[in-house]
């Protein structure tokens, strides 16, 4: 049985879905009216708490179970690898492909990453282009930048300042 709750975050309202196996999905609700749930069940409260702590800069990793059971094996492998990227760090699609044993599968890694049903917790925002550019993010590069700045403000703010000074 699925359980859904809505919460506010640094990047806007979120819809969080839990299954009997764990966290199933997080959806960004950019253009939708989203009532924030005043009551969160006892079962869902630890998920909300960890997300709140993350957005307040207090949590660097998540500890609650995830439900990736409906995904194809390659997607699960990619997302498990993405889950190991440390807070405040980034990896390229190519690096992930190499670790998975197929250096030529960077594009497939990108496609699997784009279909990540649990953004933020499975930190697909930490995956960048091989040359360091913020390529593709299912929710837009502005959101990707906000999440990266939250995790490592000195690095990303200084990069923005550098580019601004070149203009």
> Which residues are identified as catalytic?
124
Distance CA(85)–CA(52), nearest Å, equals: 20
Query: Is-contact 125 144, C-beta < 8 A?
Result: yes
Residue 40: CB atoms within 10 Å: 18
Task: Please state the φ and ψ torsions of residue 34, each to the nearest 5 degrees.
Answer: -135, 105
**Are 107 and 88 a contacting pair, CB within 8 Å?**
no
Comparing C-alpha atoms, which of 19, 5, 17 is closest to residue 119?
A: 17
| Cα–Cα distance, 47 to 12 (Å, whole number) | 17
């Amino acid at each position: 049985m699925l359980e859904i709750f809505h919460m506010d975050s640094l990047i806007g309202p979120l819809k969080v879905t839990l299954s009997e196996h764990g966290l199933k999905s997080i959806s960004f609700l950019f253009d939708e009216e989203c009532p924030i749930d005043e009551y969160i069940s006892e079962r869902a409260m630890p998920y909300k708490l960890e997300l709140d702590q993350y957005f307040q800069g207090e949590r660097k990793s998540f500890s609650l179970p995830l439900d990736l059971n409906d995904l194809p094996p390659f997607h699960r492998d990619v997302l498990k690898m993405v889950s190991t990227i440390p807070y405040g760090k980034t990896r390229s699609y190519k690096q992930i492909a190499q670790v998975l044993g197929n250096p030529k599968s960077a594009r497939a890694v990108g496609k699997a990453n784009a279909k990540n049903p649990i953004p933020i917790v499975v930190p697909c925002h930490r995956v960048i282009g091989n040359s360091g550019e913020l390529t593709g993010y299912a929710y837009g590069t502005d959101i990707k930048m906000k999440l990266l700045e939250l995790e490592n403000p000195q690095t990303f703010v200084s990069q923005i300042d550098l580019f601004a000074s070149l203009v």
